[in-house]
Structure 1
């Protein structure tokens, strides 16, 4: 549950970036939950066209998700399909982290075009490849002394997609099945009776809008031709050549769709995961040791099967050792030293597929970092008050003398 201060911060961010009108629509959705266009127009006092334009701005910048749901009408009448809009609170707060996101990509890729592409997606929300090309070629001052081609931009975008920094946009308006009368309008029950879980309509909408990873991270290199031919040689058969020409046409058509119709956006999940990894490694390096930080980073990097949004990281000892050896400082570490670091990190050990597995919860490290940060802010805020009280208890405090010593 988001607190009032968090909601106020989100509204302030939208106000700063898009103005009062868009912020008023966003505030309405944040405080009241999912609403239809008619309800938004009524609550804000805007005309339908103004409310719609504000929603389009928020959708363009990944701050609002639309979904459709059927609502029962008059008795005997067929249900009516209504489009609802919900604010994406986390995505709004991510706008404060755009500079850090850009630094992550700039640090990983030795390619200025990768940095320019992710910058364009962060600034404009969602763009087609054609729009990215237009943006890149419309900066003559930055492009002096260098040539930018469509092929080079396509190659750079493929790098970002393969690294999961860029993804295809989710479905624009998924349909959520109607709710039965014995269920509440905002939640649906699932699971066993002993452990009933509730899933809100918003959670269902996000799940329905999400693409499968194979489609979500499908780049320009994933052609139709190779999949349909299965790598077979064409030979000299006329029928096979005709089939090849048809598949070439399909490939060209798919490429045109990818460039002109498919919308791309920055993958916040991956970027936040990288920030979390950076914070955790830095915290362990400061609190424990440099070697423990190297082992933790190796655990995170070698845990490829884990999704970025998962806090729990699990990796085998062999994979950890392989990644540790890739680090300059890790080449000096023995297996026993790595085991000692894993114990120092309080990792949980288990056996899976005849291999030693180690797991750690990054959420615990993040919580520790947050606690230390809050304590630091509190101590900094009340440092003068604490010093005053300490000197007062000693009985050696006069206002003029204390101020002089500070």
Structure 2
């Protein structure tokens, strides 16, 4: 559970980085938990436009996650869905460690990797094209640095924009408690924030997958001579990529990437 001091510190970080309006929305979510857009507007007394813009900033910088709460009626009536927003306290707190993250990459990798990571930390999320556009070096150099960061798991694909979260039914909740009791397992209650983060996270097959497609060939297929993947040779990851291809989501120019805070914290703990 987040303490009052933790909330104050998180709000101070957001205020310093994004200003008072964004911090007001963030504080509302930290103190009240997940809320709909309308509920945030009522609670903060800001305009709908101000709240929307603040949420966009917070989501862009991985401080808030949107999700759809799917609530099934008690008597089997139709499910009720609502889009809600939850503050990601752990991600907010990591912002003060950004200089440490950059220092770590400078020691383990190279200067180009540091520049690429710095851009992601400054902007929250970027496509590969945006990384190319803002880089001082050529595309080949940028892509090489990108692959190095990805191989080290210092960057990852961004989570789903609005994962669907369902509340467990009474029967499922009772079965879970019986299983825990019979197995004599000390069960730790999973927080809603953890459930949302888990639901939004890409599968392991896709989280660190990078592949490029080249120009179409004469027979209408794809020339994969320049295709690259940091996980080449693992069939399940190729299957996942093919699944994405069917849905038209393989263009690496539109996939959003971000820093992987979990990996940085893991390294800091094992120093």
Give the distance between the partners of 2:28 and 2:56, measured in 1 at CA: 15
Name the one with the larger helix percent.
1
Counterpart residue number, 1:216: 207
Give the distance between the partners of 1:52 and 1:251, measured in 2 at CA: 41
Counterpart residue number, 2:166: 177
CA contact (8 A) 1:129 1:258 kept: no
Counterpart residue number, 2:62: 62
CA contact (8 A) 1:29 1:87 kept: yes
Give the distance between the partners of 1:74 and 1:54, measured in 2 at CA: 35
The 1:100/1:57 distance shift into structure 2, 3 A limit, reads: same
Give the distance between the partners of 1:48 and 1:250, measured in 2 at CA: 49
1:90 corresponds to 2:90: yes
Counterpart residue number, 1:246: 221
Give structure 1 stretches of 5+ with no counterpart: 138-147, 225-240, 279-406
User: What does the per-residue CA deviation read over 1:330-384, in whole Å, with 9 as the maximum and x for residues that have no partner?
Assistant: xxxxxxxxxxxxxxxxxxxxxxxxxxxxxxxxxxxxxxxxxxxxxxxxxxxxxxx
**TM-score scaled to structure 2, two decimals?**
0.80
Counting matched residue pairs gives 246
| Greater mean alpha carbon deviation, residues 159-168 or residues 75-84 | 75-84
Counterpart residue number, 2:146: 157
Counterpart residue number, 1:124: 123
RMSD: 3.0
Give structure 2 stretches of 5+ with no counterpart: 228-243
> Secondary structure of 1:199's match?
coil
CA contact (8 A) 1:61 1:125 kept: yes
Give the distance between the partners of 1:8 and 1:118, measured in 2 at CA: 28
Higher relative contact order (CA 8 A, sep 6+): 2
Counterpart residue number, 1:287: none
1:275 corresponds to 2:268: yes
User: What does the per-residue CA deviation read over 1:99-135, in whole Å, with 9 as the maximum and x for residues that have no partner?
Assistant: 11000001111x3211110000011101001111111
Give the distance between the partners of 1:57 and 1:99, measured in 2 at CA: 21
**TM-score scaled to structure 1, two decimals?**
0.55
